[in-house]
Structure 1
Amino acid sequence: MVSFKSVLATVALALFAQGTIIPEEKRDDSPGFVTLDFDVITKPIDVNATAKFISELLKLEKRSPIPLSLINEGSSYASKITVGSNKQPQTVIIDTGSSDLWVVDSNAQCAPRVSCKSSGTFSPSSSSTWQSLGAQFAIGYGDGSSSTGTWGKDTVSFGGVTITGQQLGDVTQTSVNQGILGIGYTGNEAVTDANGNRDISNYDNVPVTLKKQGKINSLSYSLYLNSPSASSGQIIFGGVDNAKYSGSLITEPVTQPGVALFINLNTINYNGQNYQVSEDALLDSGTTLTYLDPQIASQIAQDVGGNTISLQYFSDGSSAYFIDCGASTQGSVTYTFGNGAKIVVPLSEFTFNAGNGQCLWGIQPSNTNILGDNFLRSAYVVYELALDQVKLAQVKYTTASSISAI
């Protein structure tokens, strides 16, 4: 397991007071899918965290898997779940780029200037179903933040269903603002301790448990991030909302099956200029920006921005592309994938407020291609883990719904 992955956002807003119980909607039917709504929480991008992450990505060899998340950038997608026999409320970030569920212990030590208890905490001693596994949980991130604690098992509820004996991390020390619900491959789990020693075996994470306990028919989920201005979106475990996309879903094979959700990115086109990529790209809801091969990122920045986009350097030697906040955002960028899936992204998705009158450009250099939220908002994505494939279609922003089980 390598030590860097894609970008997750820090959330400093308290969505629940500690000890509050979330009323749970009971479900008597068995439709074969589970819907989980999430709230979109926005904040300016942490430029320093992004610059550090770029620096680390450029150190990696091409095609390196990136199994962990960086957590200090822009918008995030947060869902409400409960943990324990007494249904203790948690708000966790949905992350397709990692694979572990972890929550913040009620006695956790938060790093300075980190509000790690603001989105719900967990008290294992108050849950009659908690089972400690006696092993260390440890996870590290590309911006240098980390979380450590212990592994255990407990009851987890969301979307009107309950799964039992779910393995998760109970974090007692962290520099991250809230828990994470990682839903990637089990081969991407954080099963080594803080010293890099393998401390525990790979296990059934939340998507696998949903399937094994009969809550969903297939080991799959579909993701609808909604429009840039939306306040909510939805993930459907085991199902697809056929009202949320235009045209047909195109199947693209996963190129790193069992490890991470990479697919082949063929070309990128802007204003008639075609950029040949022909490399893997990670589809990651835990990342705010898009990260591409340095040469391609540089070419696109020059062609799109001219004098409005510049590469700025920081005192530690890291760098990032910035764009004039008043630059035109007319036009679009078209992504084409190996099997012919095509997604059109408006250029407005590539200007991000970084505070202090600065705007970060939405395509940054990296030796590993990552398509983050500024791509995923324009796509309806179905992740079929058991089949090692992803289906893509152009998103349709609508309140209509037509959900069917996969």
Structure 2
Amino acid sequence: VQIGTPLQTTYVQLDTGSNELWVDPICSSSADPSFCSDLGTYNPPSSSTSVDTDIDFEITYGEGSVSGTYYIDNILLAGKAPTNFSASLPSTQFGVGSTSSFVYAGIMGVCYGYPYNTLYYNIIDQLANDGKINSKLFSLALGSVTTTAGEIVFGGVDTMKYSGSLTEVPILFPGPDGSVRYWVNLNSVGNTEPGASSKLYTPAGYSLAVILDSGTSLSYIPQALFNLILADFPGAVAQSDGSYTVPCSFASESGTMNFGFGSVIINVPYSQFIIQPSAGTCYLGVLPTSNTIPILGDTFLRGAYVVYDQSSKAIYLANYVDCGSSLAAVPAGAGAALAFKGSCAAPTTTTSAAPSTTTTTSTTA
């Protein structure tokens, strides 16, 4: 994002699990001080259009926290080639950090804003209010572990980032904990091992409320379900921090983890589900929830193309495939995104549906 007059550039992490934009983490207390320092900062006194609201904020995440002061200034959302999209948002409120812990970058939260979670219009609200998008809708292709960037399309879809038709999944509004977030019902979880038939870990009629959260690296599910998955990754070893290492050979196998939502099954290849932070060290991409609400994070989202439609209170899902780029604006109206079919061929590994049972570039259509 670029902020102020003249423009100051800073990079932020896209987060579908939170709802506020803030910048300027304290890099010395971040998870990665060197990387954090390379992302740029916003200095309010250097902007002639900056307004200090004298209102403090504090945000706590699953890991990390930030506090600071709200400012109002002009914001430019600037994308990268090939679209070079930009959207100017005048007089937009956001946070400027003064203290933070264990966060390496500012965060752009794109969950529901006003009036559910904020007392002011957040980025998605502003885009819709200013007529930059037809409704409060955006789509996300997180990309694979081998790509350098994902893609968010404000107000539209990229039909060359998925295969087949989008499937509508209602947002639970509000969620089981009373919050207004991207809660949906997960109806099945299964596995297709290399050279084997698909199997389900969940019974017919299964339903688990989960949050689709790009700000969470792993996925978190109930202990009993986790135990069933763990049994299919022999050689897994529990670590002192609660994570599980697995043999890195799994990452090169052709198996998939399969997540069902109504009639659609999202097949996540092992290569996207296994995390490999360094050569020779691999981690299982899911953990038991313990004190955490059920979340499908990046290890799920790397296999999915997701359209988040606040206006229709719906999520639209398809299997992620990257065959280029072709943007299309989604008109206003309930279910309007369903008219846009993916242009890509189906993934090489697919699973039939169970019976009802990391920088991100911004673009617009």
Q: TM class, shorter-chain normalised?
A: 0.7 to 0.9
Provide the C-alpha distance between the structure 1 equivalents of 2:264 and 2:65, rounded to a whole number of angstroms: 36
Alignment correspondent of 2:143: 226
Q: List per-residue Cα deviations over 1:242-263 (Å, max 9, x = no partner).
A: 2322111110011144711011
Deviation, 1:399, is: 1.3
Secondary structure class of the residue paired with 1:138: strand
Q: Which whole-Å CA distance do the structure 1 matches of 2:302 and 2:67 have between them? A: 32
| Partner in structure 1 of residue 112 of structure 2 | 185
For residues 140 and 405 of structure 1, the distance between their equivalents in structure 2, rounded to whole angstroms, comes to 33
Distance in 1 (alpha carbons) for counterparts of 2:119 and 2:263: 34
Give the Cα separation in 2 of the matches to 1:170 and 1:397. Answer: 35
Q: Determine the C-alpha separation between the residues in 2 that align with 1:188 and 1:341.
A: 32
**Pairing partner for 1:333 from 257, 260, 275:** 257
1:138 to 46, 55, 58: 58
**In the alignment, does 2:126 pair up with 1:209?**
yes
Residue pairs, 1:47-58, within 5 angstroms: none
Task: Specify the code of the residue in structure 1 equivalent to 2:233.
Answer: G
Report the alpha carbon displacement of residue 188 of structure 1 after superposing the two structures with TM: 9.5
> Is residue 227 of structure 2 the alignment partner of residue 301 of structure 1?
no
Structure 1 residue 220 displacement after superposition: 0.5
Question: Normalised by the size of structure 2, how large is the TM-score?
Answer: 0.78
SS of the equivalent of 1:217 reads coil
Candidates 381, 386, 392, aligned match of 2:306: 381
Q: CA deviation at 1:359?
A: 1.8
Find the aligned partners of 2:108 and 2:161 in 1 and give their Cα distance. Answer: 23
- Cα deviation, 1:15-55, whole Å, max 9, x if unaligned, reads xxxxxxxxxxxxxxxxxxxxxxxxxxxxxxxxxxxxxxxxx
More moved, 162-171 vs 353-362: 353-362
Contact 1:98 1:189 in 2 (8 A): no
Residue range with higher mean Cα deviation, 155-164 or 325-334: 325-334
Structure 1 position 402, deviation (Å): 4.0
In 2, Cα distance between the equivalents of 1:141 and 1:95?
11
Aligned residue in 2 for 1:405: 330
May I ask how many residue pairs the two structures share in their alignment?
Answer: 306
Identity percentage of aligned residues: 35
**Aligned match for 1:274, one of 189, 195, 200:** 200
Query: Which residue among 157, 160, 176 is the counterpart of 2:76?
Result: 157
- 1:285 is displaced (CA, Å) by 1.1
Which residue identity does 2:228 align to in structure 1? Q
Partner of 1:311: 238
> 1:261 — aligned with what?
182
RMSD, aligned α-carbons = 2.2
Q: For 1:370 and 1:109, how far apart are their aligned partners in 2?
A: 27
Counterparts of 1:343 and 1:109 in 2: how far apart (Å)? Answer: 37
Structure 2, unaligned stretches of length 5 or more?
78-84, 193-197, 332-365
Q: Following TM superposition, by how much is the alpha carbon of 1:347 offset from its aligned partner in structure 2, in angstroms?
A: 1.7
1-structure distance, mates of 2:276, 2:69:
37
Residue 219 of structure 1 deviates from its aligned partner by: 0.6
Instruction: Report the Cα offset of residue 383 of structure 1.
Output: 0.4
1:148–1:216 distance in 2 versus 1, CA, 3 Å: same
CA distance in 2, matches of 1:386, 1:260: 13
Tell me the residue number matched to 2:247. 324
Give yes or no for contact 2:274–2:299 (8 Å, CA) kept in 1: no
State the secondary structure of the residue aligned to 1:184: coil
Q: Tell me which amino acid in the other structure corresponds to 2:133.
A: I
Give the whole-Å Cα distance in 2 for the aligned partners of 1:110 and 1:169. Answer: 19
The offset of 1:114, in angstroms, is: 2.9
